[in-house]
């Protein structure tokens, strides 16, 4: 056997199948895993002694928003340092393509807020893919195109609404899938996605299904009418005959839903799978989740541009009407449970970040709603950038979801970095330790074994999304490989904001190229666009 490029020795491998860990060396040649075994005398240009460590396939995030930040953070610092080598992006209906001319300015502002200083010189989804991947990325990316983006672009391009707009939506989806999208995602609690009916989604699903595509959805109502929202999701899925992902089914604790609604939703996933639907759900690692503050606002206000909506919120009559009309999204807020809500990110009020709204109200001398309105009004054109942290789960509920057979382990965040404008958008450990939190906290707590956790973060994701040749440690597979140090995992504090990037992933190879070596980023960008 000619010398390998790299030989990892002394470790136990967790191969992505869920099988027990076993002692095995791993050899990499070019972009492939070329050797698995324990022979003596195997030659390699470089040898990594991983004694006492575990080797896994690269982690795959099934629900990422890194397409929002990758243009400003091609090195993918926060995620690659956790061992994430592939991210499924374009979720919740929001992608920065396709773009109508009216959408270019808001897209530019949003990307600038993430630290991207370049020009938004694309309009098509293919143009966005070219802009991202021509410049290189540290991790592999698998793309959905956003339904909200398609809807907005179709309205801009069509001279008349109705059938012409419908044909334009179909054309834009087909164009995006031809360029590389695996299907489309919807976000039915945000933006223009809120105004789409089931028939519109079903017809797009049929288009995606004819091309062997997928549908992912942040469903319309994850709390008070969870059952109805899940019914709609499966109506769309079955109409289109598509593989599907039910995004972050993570609202459970005292949401206003009927007793047993979450259990019934989870059971529905299992039942539909038995009937032949290729569908899974995903969950997040913390009891609290990140939400955009605009999700609390009524549709009539959000039909206005962000800066105009923010200005309207300075008017006391508008504020009164909003209080009366916005009974949606995190409905525990409307029952006065503001102690469950913290301010996550506000560039105009950083001094309040991390505080609960009762704490902010005490400091500000106004009630919680007025505090929220003041924060949003001050945000101006950055209205959509205000983040909230909501307590969504109890620990028992979270354990149940994470261990569920049909739930993948995602994070619902984006790759971040510790400097520049992007640092101001990522004030929560979720961005830096969310993935390793599954391994450091939930495995240690006995929620699931290390082998099953890795399976739900690698092979199970690859199989569901049709990512061939990845997700497992197998000879001939792509060399997306991670070496974890269990001792570092064991002492990882993922409940507080870390001073540095995660360092339990001591070595990370993407397509056979070392991107993290001895816990340091090498600066290399070997990631690929997957399809």
pLDDT tens for each residue of 414-447:
999 998 888 877 878 889 999 999 999 999 999 9
Instruction: Give me the pLDDT at residue 269, please.
Output: 96
pLDDT higher than threshold 70 for residue 302:
yes
85 Cβ neighbours under 8 A, 6+ residues apart: 57, 58, 59, 60, 139, 140, 480, 482, 508, 509, 510, 527
Do residues 248 and 282 touch, judged by C-beta distance below 8 A?
A: yes
pLDDT higher than threshold 70 for residue 149:
yes
66 vs 165, higher pLDDT: 66
Over residues 167-185, mean pLDDT? 97
390 Cβ neighbours under 8 A, 6+ residues apart: 288, 289, 291, 330, 332, 340, 341, 342
Do residues 465 and 64 touch, judged by C-beta distance below 8 A?
A: no
Q: Torsions phi, psi of 382, nearest 5?
A: -90, 25
491 vs 515, higher pLDDT: 515
10 Å Cβ neighbour count for 426?
25
Lowest mean pLDDT among 19-28, 327-336, 478-487: 327-336
> Of 280, 209, 276, nearest to 244 (Cα)?
280
For residue 49, name the pLDDT band (cuts at 50, 70, 90): very high
Instruction: Give me the pLDDT at residue 419, please.
Output: 87
> Of 451, 448, 449, 441, nearest to 492 (Cα)?
441
Q: What is the pLDDT of residues 254-266, one digit of tens each?
A: 777 788 888 999 9
Instruction: Give me the pLDDT at residue 370, please.
Output: 97
28 Cβ neighbours under 8 A, 6+ residues apart: 4, 5, 6, 7, 8, 34, 479, 481, 509, 512
Q: Which domains are seen in the chain, by residue range?
A: 4-57+473-494+501-522 (2.30.40.10), 292-390 (no CATH)
Q: Torsions phi, psi of 345, nearest 5?
A: -135, 125
User: From start to end of 79-179, where are the E strands?
Assistant: 84-89, 140-143, 145-146
Instruction: At 202, list the tokens.
Output: 């079903």
Question: What size, in residues, is the chain?
Answer: 531
pLDDT higher than threshold 80 for residue 351:
yes
pLDDT higher than threshold 80 for residue 80:
yes
CA distance 511 to 346: 38
Over residues 106-134, mean pLDDT? 94
Over residues 328-349, mean pLDDT? 88
Q: Dihedral of the CA atoms 429, 435, 436, 442 (nearest 10)?
A: 100
pLDDT higher than threshold 80 for residue 162:
no
How far lies 41's CA from each of 4, 7, 9, 25, 44, in Å?
A: 12, 11, 12, 12, 10
Instruction: Give me the pLDDT at residue 159, please.
Output: 59
Instruction: Give me the pLDDT at residue 254, please.
Output: 79
Is pTM, for the whole model, over 0.85? yes
Answer positive or negative: Cα dihedral of 206, 208, 214, 216.
Answer: negative
> Of 332, 334, 314, nearest to 324 (Cα)?
334
Do residues 124 and 174 touch, judged by C-beta distance below 8 A?
A: no
pLDDT higher than threshold 90 for residue 497:
no
Looking only at the bridges linking them, the beta strands covering 279-283 and 529-530 are unpaired
Instruction: Give me the pLDDT at residue 161, please.
Output: 64
10 Å Cβ neighbour count for 495?
10
Instruction: Give me the pLDDT at residue 505, please.
Output: 98
> Of 328, 325, 319, 389, nearest to 360 (Cα)?
389
CA atoms within 13 A on the CB side of 144: 37
pLDDT higher than threshold 70 for residue 313:
yes
Output Rg (C-alpha) for the chain, integer angstroms.
23
pLDDT higher than threshold 80 for residue 172:
yes
**Cα first-last separation, the chain:** 32
For residue 185, name the pLDDT band (cuts at 50, 70, 90): very high
> Of 269, 280, 347, nearest to 310 (Cα)?
347
pLDDT higher than threshold 80 for residue 328:
no
Instruction: Give me the pLDDT at residue 168, please.
Output: 95
Task: Calculate the average pLDDT of the chain.
Answer: 93
Instruction: Give me the pLDDT at residue 160, please.
Output: 60
472-475 contacts, C-beta under 8 A, 24 or more apart: 472/15, 472/16, 472/17, 472/57, 473/13, 473/15, 473/16, 473/26, 473/33, 473/36, 473/55, 473/56, 473/57, 474/15, 474/33, 474/36, 475/32, 475/33, 475/34, 475/35, 475/36
For residue 290, name the pLDDT band (cuts at 50, 70, 90): confident
């Amino acid at each position: 056997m000619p010398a390998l490029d790299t030989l990892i020795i002394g470790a136990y491998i967790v191969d992505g199948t869920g099988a027990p860990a076993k002692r095995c060396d791993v050899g990499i040649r070019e972009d492939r895993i070329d050797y698995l075994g324990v022979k003596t005398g195997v030659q390699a240009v470089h040898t990594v002694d991983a004694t006492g460590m575990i080797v896994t396939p690269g982690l795959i995030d099934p629900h990422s928003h890194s397409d929002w930040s990758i243009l400003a953070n091609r090195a993918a610092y926060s995620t690659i340092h956790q061992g994430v080598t592939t991210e499924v992006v374009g979720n919740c209906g929001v992608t920065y393509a396709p773009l109508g001319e009216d959408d270019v300015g808001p897209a530019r502002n949003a990307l600038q807020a993430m630290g991207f200083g370049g020009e938004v010189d694309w309009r098509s989804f293919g143009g966005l893919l070219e802009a991202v991947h021509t410049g290189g990325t540290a991790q592999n990316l698998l793309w959905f195109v956003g339904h909200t983006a398609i809807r907005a672009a179709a309205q801009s391009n069509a001279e008349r609404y109705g059938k012409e707009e419908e044909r334009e939506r179909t054309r834009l989806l087909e164009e995006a899938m031809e360029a590389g999208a695996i299907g489309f995602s919807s976000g039915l609690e945000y933006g223009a996605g809120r105004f789409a009916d089931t028939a519109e989604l079903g017809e797009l699903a049929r288009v995606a299904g004819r091309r062997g595509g997928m549908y992912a959805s942040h469903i319309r109502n994850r709390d008070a009418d969870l059952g109805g929202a899940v019914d709609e999701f499966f109506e769309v899925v079955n109409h289109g005959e598509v593989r599907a992902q039910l995004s972050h089914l993570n609202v459970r604790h005292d949401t206003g839903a009927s007793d047993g609604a979450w259990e019934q939703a989870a059971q529905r996933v299992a039942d539909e799978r038995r009937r032949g639907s290729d569908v899974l759900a995903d969950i997040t690692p913390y009891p609290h989740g990140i939400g955009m503050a605009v999700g609390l606002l009524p549709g009539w206000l959000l039909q206005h541009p962000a800066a105009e909506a923010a200005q309207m919120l300075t008017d006391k009559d508008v504020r009164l009407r909003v209080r009366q009309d916005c009974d949606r999204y995190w409905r525990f807020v409307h029952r006065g449970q503001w102690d469950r809500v913290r301010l996550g990110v506000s560039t105009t009020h950083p001094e309040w970040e991390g505080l609960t709204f009762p704490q902010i109200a005490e400091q500000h001398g106004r009630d919680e709603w007025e505090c929220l309105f003041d924060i949003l009004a001050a945000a101006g054109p950055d209205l959509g950038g205000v983040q909230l942290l909501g307590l969504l789960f109890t620990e028992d509920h979270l354990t149940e979801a994470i261990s569920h057979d049909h739930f993948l382990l995602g994070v619902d965040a984006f790759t971040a970095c510790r400097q520049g404008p992007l640092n101001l958008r990522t004030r929560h450990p979720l961005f830096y330790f969310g993935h390793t939190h599954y391994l450091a906290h939930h495995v240690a707590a006995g929620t699931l074994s290390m082998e099953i956790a890795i399976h739900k973060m690698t092979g199970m994701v690859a199989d569901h999304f049709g990512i061939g040749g990845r997700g497992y440690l197998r000879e001939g597979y792509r060399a997306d490989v991670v070496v974890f140090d269990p001792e570092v995992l064991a002492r990882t504090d993922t409940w507080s904001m870390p001073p540095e990037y995660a360092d339990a992933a001591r070595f990370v190879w993407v397509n056979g190229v070392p991107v993290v070596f001895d816990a340091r980023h090498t600066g290399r960008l070997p990631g690929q666009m997957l399809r």
